[in-house]
Structure 1
Amino acid sequence: MSETSSFGTFTTPDEGATRRVRAALMQKVNGDAEMFALGGSIARVIELADSDEPGPHDLAYFVLSDAALTQRILRLSNTIRYRTVSGTAVTTVSRAIALLGFDNVKTTALAMLLVDTLDSGAHAGSVRIELEAALCASLVGREMARLSFYQGAEEAAIGALFKNLGAVLVASHEHERYREIRQLVTQSKHTPPQASQMILGCSYDTLAAAVLAEWKIPDVIVRAQATLAPGTLKVAGSRGEWMRQVASFSIDVARIMESTAGTAGDAAGTAEARALLARYGAAFELDAAGLERIFTNVADGMAALMESMNLQPMARPEPDTGEGMPDVLLLATLGAGIDEEGAWPSGKPKNARELLLAGVQDVTQLRAAGKARVNDVILAVLETLYRALGFRFATVCLKDARQGQYRARVSFGEDQAVQAGFVFPAAAPPTSSRDLFVLAMDNDADLMISDASSQKIRELLPPWHRTLLPDAKSFIVLPLVVGKAQLGFFYADRAVTAPEGVPADETAMIRALKRQVLAALAAG
């Protein structure tokens, strides 16, 4: 079958050809090691839940394990949209989660994972268009979640983010097919679902759902990718139906904003916006003013997100011209923040004082806001110690009075398995009164050991520490004692010695951080 357009003669493939295209595309996606890793990372982030106490810590740990992702989340929390009234910079991921919100950071991390994996290649211009639409749709989904009464409505932002996954993958892995689909849609003879069905043998929505299912993404998000029937929609009868409506609405809003260069006022006044309102207005109880507010909020959010990811504004390419890389997805290289010249051989940053000071300000602001829980403060302090002093492992141990032992509650660092083994008696065995940890707790003494391999220090190390962390060469112990109550302590170590030590000004700020935790514990 042939069709003629301003682009020339276009031949629609037969059913056998579309089956081969669909099979080849799925094989490419499923067989791509990078895509496999992306799917694993996405599944991991989605399963993080804030209903249980470890949720925010697990998310913070995931973000901190990727230096570039850490920098982008911090950059987002310091954009004009989210900057605090006082103007105090946000320097820890823990504080960023408290400021932006758990679900916001989770969805943003997912968006950044997509961009990082699919930002390059010979067709980055086309991929960029589809990625921006996906990011924009996620922000629309977030706005709709705020207006919803459904429990767990925040998942709609994730469902909306992946609504354009099919187009992103085809643009990245089968660009010729992508161009053909765009041609059909541009001719205004076919909708995107119809055009993708004709060329691929399945719609973009079906492709997205198939890939998400392969990645073991929860069914409610997979089902949200289903194509809606045409015409005016009614109020959803279930959360699942509402999520499908939101996902579809979100990508439609994103397309309108794409065509108007993201200008909210221009988008709200288009014929497409009026048609959008006619289709979804009743379902969402949305009027023209409400739709314009969504356009405005999403435009602001998109600007902040693009700034945080260092994405440059781009002139829209003509994706059907077959050009190479006229407009690549520009992401600045974001390092870990400290290079070899900026750190001691131990790994401790040479600007530790500045990083500690920023952490003190961050934690102070967190407590001053009046909404922080004790665990939020502990997490922010632990992260500051871990990053500012360059430790390989950092944890906070709290006392379990009934069991008569200390147990690691949360941790950051290379080997999370260490946390499970970080359990030991609260009192030294009768046969040994010279236990470094017990002595530190009994005397409320902050210990900063620069060389744990020295004979005198080794004699004071309890057997559990020598067994669990045999290669710890330098470490700190910061007891948490309120009155006479021994509540726990911070511990952090390195696998190398730290002869540079801890000067007085850094020590003062470390103790200031500890005081913030003690004050939170006393108040809570």
Structure 2
Amino acid sequence: MNSTQAWVNYLSKVELPVLANTLRRINELADSTSSTVHQLADVILNDAQLTSQVLRLSNTVFYNQTRTQVGTVSRAITLIGFDAVKSMAISSLIVDTLLARSDRSHLLQCLARALHAAVQARCLLPKRNEQALEEVFIGALLMNIGELAFWSCDTEQADELELLLQGGEPAVAAQKKVLKTTFVEITRGLVDAWSLGPFIKDVVSAGQPNSKASSLVRHSVEMARLSEKGWRGAEMDRVLDALAGEVGESTATVRDQVRINAGEASKIANSLGIPQVAALLPDGREATKPQTSAAPPTDPALELQILRELSHSLTNKPDINEVCQLVINGIQKAVGMRRVALLMADRSGNKLIPRKVAGPGTDSWREAFVVARDGTGELGVLLPQKVCGIYQPARQAGTPGSDPWLCQVPALTGPLLANGRLVGMFYADNADINAVPDATQLISFSHFVQHAQLCITLLSSH
């Protein structure tokens, strides 16, 4: 293959025909009639993984600021909007399709950059109508689709280009040497071949952009690339000045905002189930990873003290919130577990959702840590049996939800029962510290959970 068109044809017809066709179908849907809502829902529902991803994203604050629980694709379209769901579907398709094909470091880095730029563009855009928000998000995500598609393929040219880049060859020169074209040219060809729309065509075109939104996308992509080397420097200052002019804010305000947006990009990456990409985002590792490398120590003296406080509180009219807070403190500080959650049944009674969380990296749990009471779903394996136990992850466990360690690391789980019926559970882990809780910790954890159980039993008997 020695021309742009040859690469476009190869990627479209040989390597990625399903992705190309699905993206084309989604992009050709207009949101002018209710029938297209059903058409979009049908495209998504045809793929179980895509359906799961869209529903997961629909329940993140990034898309769903009302925090109204979304359980169906049609409900997501109604509540959050056609364009937002279309945007989720495209981003999920790109991520799932490409990562299923390759785990090359260049692909992961390129995906991290694309997702970071997409979140930045969406968060920085001054005009906040839904269509414009999703247009800039997808524009930034797909601005380097040629590079993304190339690195997902197991070809001799990919191996050869990788070696040249590792040897320090300038990127564009290396691309021309190996591909006889550039990623930019391949991207422009794919935008046409896959019918990705006039806005993205403007974003990737050679001349000056036709709109401020297109210019914002270009600068967001450039800023995402530069941020991989830090937030300071002459080039970064120049891009931030340009962004400030486009959004009508001071450079200092934009500088602060893009740091916040980078953290938002990490949350989206985790919501998509790609912690390996989240770790490559600026500040992403710090946002999702505890800062210490050792599990906290156990403290038998503190355990005894907190158990006494719990016993005292149960002799009076117990306050469930006070008791559960004491239990969480005990599990964290005395048992020696970094992260703890109390989950209780939601209004439907079908799910256990976080009531209290504690520890680093647990902010995402408030919206994403949901366990079905019947043990189904991605987090169903965490559901405790009738006694407290140590959860051991399966060797091939997936990475569900927006937390990279749930289901991946050993954890302590304990049930809360009311009249023999499961109404809640305690969960505790040490995040990235892959230390298996020992028998002593399990016994101490059980003591604390039993006090919470006693409180619920007393309250249910009144």
The alignment's TM-score, normalised by the length of structure 1, stands at 0.46
Q: Which residue of 2 aligns with 1:30?
A: 12
State the alpha-carbon separation in 2 of the partners of residues 30 and 151 from structure 1: 27
Q: What is the Cα deviation at residue 98 of structure 1? A: 4.0
Q: Which residue of 1 aligns with 2:215?
A: 245
State the alpha-carbon separation in 2 of the partners of residues 358 and 200 from structure 1: 57
Q: Which residue of 2 aligns with 1:68?
A: 49
Q: What is the Cα deviation at residue 25 of structure 1? A: 3.1
State the alpha-carbon separation in 1 of the partners of residues 38 and 260 from structure 2: 29
User: Could you report, residue by residue, the CA deviation over 1:164-214 in whole angstroms, capped at 9, with x for unpaired residues?
Assistant: 112212222342354267458x66xx5x55654565333322210101211
Question: Contact 1:63/1:69 (CA < 8 Å) preserved in 2?
Answer: yes
5 Å-filtered alignment, 1:48-197, equals 48-79=29-60, 81=62, 89-121=69-101, 123-147=103-127, 152=132, 154-173=134-153, 174-179=157-162, 182-183=165-166, 190=170, 196-197=175-176
Aligned residues, how many?
Answer: 284
The answer to which of 200-209 and 35-44 deviates more is 200-209
Question: Contact 1:160/1:247 (CA < 8 Å) preserved in 2?
Answer: yes
SS of match in other structure, 1:313: helix
Q: What is the Cα deviation at residue 80 of structure 1? A: 5.2
Q: What is the Cα deviation at residue 147 of structure 1? A: 3.4
Structure 1 residues 40, 71: CA separation in 2 closer, same or farther (over 3 Å shift)? same
State the alpha-carbon separation in 2 of the partners of residues 79 and 285 from structure 1: 28
Q: What is the Cα deviation at residue 271 of structure 1? A: 4.4
Q: What is the Cα deviation at residue 122 of structure 1? A: 5.3
Q: Which residue of 2 aligns with 1:417?
A: none
Return the index of the structure with the highest Cα Rg: 1
Question: Contact 1:193/1:203 (CA < 8 Å) preserved in 2?
Answer: yes
State the alpha-carbon separation in 2 of the partners of residues 27 and 99 from structure 1: 38
State the alpha-carbon separation in 2 of the partners of residues 217 and 90 from structure 1: 28
State the alpha-carbon separation in 2 of the partners of residues 145 and 159 from structure 1: 12
State the alpha-carbon separation in 1 of the partners of residues 161 and 8 from structure 2: 15
Q: Which residue of 1 aligns with 2:276?
A: 313
Q: Which runs of 5+ in 1 are unaligned?
A: 1-18, 230-235, 261-266, 318-353, 360-524
Q: Which residue of 2 aligns with 1:440?
A: none
Amino acid paired to 2:42: Y
Q: What is the Cα deviation at residue 224 of structure 1? A: 1.8
State the alpha-carbon separation in 1 of the partners of residues 204 and 85 from structure 2: 22
The alignment's TM-score, normalised by the length of structure 2, stands at 0.52
Q: CA RMSD in A?
A: 3.8
Q: What is the Cα deviation at residue 104 of structure 1? A: 2.3
5 Å-filtered alignment, 1:67-466, equals 67-79=48-60, 81=62, 89-121=69-101, 123-147=103-127, 152=132, 154-173=134-153, 174-179=157-162, 182-183=165-166, 190=170, 196-197=175-176, 199-227=178-206, 238-239=210-211, 242-260=212-230, 267=231, 269-292=232-255, 294-296=257-259, 298-313=261-276
SS of match in other structure, 1:255: helix
Structure 1 residues 70, 248: CA separation in 2 closer, same or farther (over 3 Å shift)? same
Q: Which runs of 5+ in 2 are unaligned?
A: 282-344, 351-462
State the alpha-carbon separation in 2 of the partners of residues 356 and 285 from structure 1: 44
Q: What is the Cα deviation at residue 29 of structure 1? A: 1.0
Question: Contact 2:269/2:275 (CA < 8 Å) preserved in 1?
Answer: yes
Q: What is the Cα deviation at residue 135 of structure 1? A: 2.0
State the alpha-carbon separation in 2 of the partners of residues 248 and 181 from structure 1: 27
